[in-house]
Amino acid sequence: MEIINTIKKMVERREITGYKCDCCSKTQTSESLPEGWHHFNSHHQAWGEDSIDSFEHYDVCSVGCYLKTISKSIEENGYFFGFEVNGMKRKFAKKLVSAFNLDKNEE
């Protein structure tokens, strides 16, 4: 014989309803990354296995915000061993930002 009970369950889930630029705070309502925006991350390897905690994820709305965010990430974490931002090693990322004259000396 089956014993049947009525159980009421509530399911809660997180859904993306929009994006906010990590540089200028511009917002866009969208379930996926808006056209013209870019998602990237930075991390380093200085803490061994705990380096997973160094991952930072960024969403930016423009090329200018992208370069400013890379510059800020280099400034804050570039001295750590194995630092990378958007797949670029620190030296290359610094050259890229300098090429666009957005390095920390001009902010």
pLDDT in tens, 16-64: 899 999 999 999 999 999 999 999 999 988 888 777 888 999 999 999 9
Which tokens go with 102? 């957005």
Give the model's pLDDT for residue 70. 95
What is the percent of the chain where pLDDT is above 70? Answer: 91
36 Ramachandran zone, left/alpha/beta (phi>0; psi -120 to 50): left
| pTM for this entry | 0.77
Greatest mean pLDDT among 1-5, 42-46, 100-104: 42-46
